[in-house]
A and B are shown apart, each in its own frame.
Chain A
């Protein structure tokens, strides 16, 4: 799959250490009295990830070199999932696009969250059938993902976390009680599609509070990272190196280091 950066067998995109550089551009004019006249250039912003891998198997290093070859080095763009970020857009605002509520699902914001602030949303299913709040990303459906969220309900109840691709779906029943609980659904689907959807599904009449939904291409959740209009999926990423160095450290053990860049 040439258009997506490959995932390791461990289910991770990268290994520590990861060096991430956020670069912006400001045009500076220093006036004769020393004061500044500045203009921002938002279109010039970009991110660089320096990724170092060790202990890769022949298959893993093969998938990286095959991807590099398919992209012809820096020439062709691909989708890169930032291993340090939340893949969901507007995780802090469930009422905004691209979150998609089913008909009959009511959302209200400014509810108390687990941090003692008011960043949570209350979801109420007023429909006669199950309803869900979902978000779709253009990423491979068969990668290892971890979908997590904080949930709470006045009365103990069970809701479902859904991970689905174009051809398959996996539902995980989780419990919401009077205390905030971080619930998780993880795994990989047998689905070769290039769309992946996550959802929180409520039965008719159910009402729960939700905070901090997070999607990561890895096995277990890391700390919640709030996102707004931008998230951790970069569809126009490029290799930032003209040659991919591969070190054979031992039989079936390889290491490499390289840089990937993407516009912000």
Chain B
């Protein structure tokens, strides 16, 4: 399984980093006010919103190449979670689109979600 590429600094992301954790529940409410609830996922799953700025051509190129290699949100990869310091398997890109802003020579930015998935 591929591993998410790190920047030249060795980091995988920059501040601010948004991390969400959730499991998702479906709630069905009945006329008498009671409800029935069930879980959408078998366990809690994490997601990271990655904002990257001032990337040089090598760094943005590596990210685009990695996104192409993963076929967008299709393939799983290992994400080194900077928050917990652990490698998280079964991660994917959160969407099928990668947007790169080339603002100048060796100055590009991008933003995307990495999500932990169940299977």
Which residues of A are interface residues toward B (Cβ below 8 A)?
A: 16-26, 28, 30-31, 33-40, 42, 45, 84, 222-223, 225-226, 264
Which residues of B are interface residues toward A (Cβ below 8 A)?
A: 24, 39-42, 56-58, 61, 64-65, 67-68, 71-75, 96-106, 117-119
Within 8 Å by CB of B42, from A23, A35, A38, A84, lies: A35
Residue numbers in B under 8 Å from A21 (CB-CB): 97-100
Question: Contacts A22-B97, A24-B71; is A222 near B39 (CB within 8 Å)?
Answer: no
Question: Contacts A17-B101, A19-B102; is A24 near B61 (CB within 8 Å)?
Answer: no
Residue numbers in B under 8 Å from A28 (CB-CB): 73
Complex CA distance for A30 and B65, rounded to whole angstroms: 27
Residue numbers in B under 8 Å from A24 (CB-CB): 67-68, 71-74, 96-97
Nearest B-chain residue to A18, judged by Cβ:
B102
The smallest C-beta distance from A263 to any residue of chain B, in angstroms, reads: 13
- Count of chain A to chain B residue pairs whose CB atoms are closer than 8 Å in the complex: 92
The smallest C-beta distance from B118 to any residue of chain A, in angstroms, reads: 5
Residue numbers in B under 8 Å from A22 (CB-CB): 64, 67-68, 72, 97-98, 100
Residue numbers in B under 8 Å from A31 (CB-CB): 119
Complex CA distance for A120 and B65, rounded to whole angstroms: 20
Question: Contacts A21-B98, A22-B64; is A38 near B74 (CB within 8 Å)?
Answer: yes
Residue numbers in B under 8 Å from A45 (CB-CB): 71-72
B39 adjacent to A34 (CB under 8 Å): yes
**Could you give 22 example pairs across A and B, Cβ below 8 Å?**
A17-B104, A19-B100, A19-B101, A20-B102, A21-B97, A22-B72, A22-B98, A23-B96, A24-B97, A26-B71, A33-B42, A33-B118, A34-B24, A34-B118, A35-B118, A35-B119, A36-B119, A37-B119, A39-B74, A222-B57, A225-B57, A225-B61
